């Protein structure tokens, strides 16, 4: 694994976007892994260590998260900026096409990229998100994303993650510890905070409504695998079924014991993703 970064451009100037890269630059295929709303690219360490045996794997920290810069104006946090940054990343990688795995927010970024004319997305894995997102699920997320809790130790922060992200499913203690160690920032007070800008909650202000992205879904032409947590509140079963019937007519794999969103850290989940990507 090696680290890298590039400069993205927004309305208030440039910002640095960090990423980690696994595998050989000369590998025949490149996979980009995009994380969820409050997480970062190191969530994919387990998956990347396996898939990078054959692929080049790149895991960015979306701006405002992980080791990437925070935006000067929180109003800039949104999909136009995320799409622009990811287009810059793909250009930086100097490849003609990429496979894409996206969890939640990262899946929406992937769908939006794959819906564009002449897009570089070859195969798309969408982890527990779809073109319809219910209001209730968004309200649940809004209840914690705008907070900026402070912890006395990484252990306390890990306990918070275990509670907030319980729907990730059954994870080993080492997995939760990994998420905590890669998901904190050290504060001037000596305490620990979560590794994201609380300003990312800007998009959850005002009235929260259902999100309808079916026109985006219908514009996607590449092969798609949808992973759905069996008890997910963000990707309803009926939405996943409709994703099989329209647009790219995705394959859907349900992950038992998980809600929003499967962590993609277990060997069986990693194998399912790897095997599907290898089919095309």
Dump pLDDT digits (tens) for 88-145: 999 999 999 999 999 999 999 999 999 999 999 999 999 999 999 999 999 999 888 8
CATH architecture under which domain 2-132+212-277 falls: 3-Layer(aba) Sandwich (3.40)
Domain ranges of the chain: 2-132+212-277
pLDDT at 30: 98
Is residue 84 over pLDDT 90?
yes
pLDDT at 8: 98
pLDDT at 143: 85
Is residue 154 over pLDDT 90?
yes
Who has greater pLDDT, 204 or 272? Answer: 272
Strand partners, 15: 8
Q: Are 101 and 125 in contact (CB under 8 A)?
A: yes
Q: What is the four-CA torsion angle of 159, 258, 125, 144, rounded to 10 degrees?
A: -40
d(CA 262, CA 129): 11
Full-model pTM: 0.97
- Nearest residue to 196 (alpha-carbon basis) of 85, 35, 9: 35
Q: What is the pLDDT of residues 10-62, one digit of tens each?
A: 999 999 999 999 999 999 999 999 999 999 999 999 999 999 999 999 999 99
Is residue 280 over pLDDT 90?
no
Taken in order 92, 31, 280, 123, the sign of the CA dihedral is negative
d(CA 20, CA 274): 19
Q: What is the pLDDT of residues 186-219, one digit of tens each?
A: 999 999 999 999 999 988 888 899 999 999 999 9
């Amino acid at each position: 694994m090696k680290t890298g970064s590039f400069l993205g451009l927004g309305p208030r100037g440039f910002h640095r976007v960090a990423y980690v890269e696994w595998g050989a630059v000369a590998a025949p295929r490149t996979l980009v892994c995009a994380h969820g709303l409050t997480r970062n690219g190191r969530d994919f360490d387990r998956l990347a260590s396996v898939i990078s045996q054959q692929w080049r794997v790149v895991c960015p920290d979306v701006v405002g998260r992980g080791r990437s810069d925070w935006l000067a104006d929180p109003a800039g946090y949104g999909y136009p900026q995320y799409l622009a940054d990811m287009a810059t990343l793909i250009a930086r990688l100097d490849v003609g096409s990429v496979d894409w795995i996206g969890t939640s927010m990262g899946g929406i970024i992937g769908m939006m990229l794959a819906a564009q004319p002449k897009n570089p997305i070859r195969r798309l894995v969408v982890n527990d998100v779809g073109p319809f997102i219910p209001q209730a699920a968004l309200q649940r997320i809004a209840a914690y994303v705008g907070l900026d809790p402070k912890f006395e130790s990484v252990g306390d922060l890990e306990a918070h993650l275990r509670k907030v992200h319980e729907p990730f499913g059954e994870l080993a203690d080492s997995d939760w510890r990994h998420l905590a160690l890669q998901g904190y920032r050290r504060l001037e007070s000596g305490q620990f905070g979560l590794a994201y800008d609380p300003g990312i909650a800007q998009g959850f202000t005002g009235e929260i409504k259902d999100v309808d992205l079916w026109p985006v879904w219908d514009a996607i032409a590449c092969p798609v695998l949808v992973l759905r947590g069996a008890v997910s509140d963000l990707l309803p079963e009926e939405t996943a079924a409709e994703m099989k019937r329209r647009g790219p007519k995705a394959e859907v794999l349900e992950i038992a014991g998980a809600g929003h969103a499967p962590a993609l850290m277990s060997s069986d989940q990693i194998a399912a993703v790897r095997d599907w990507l290898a089919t095309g």
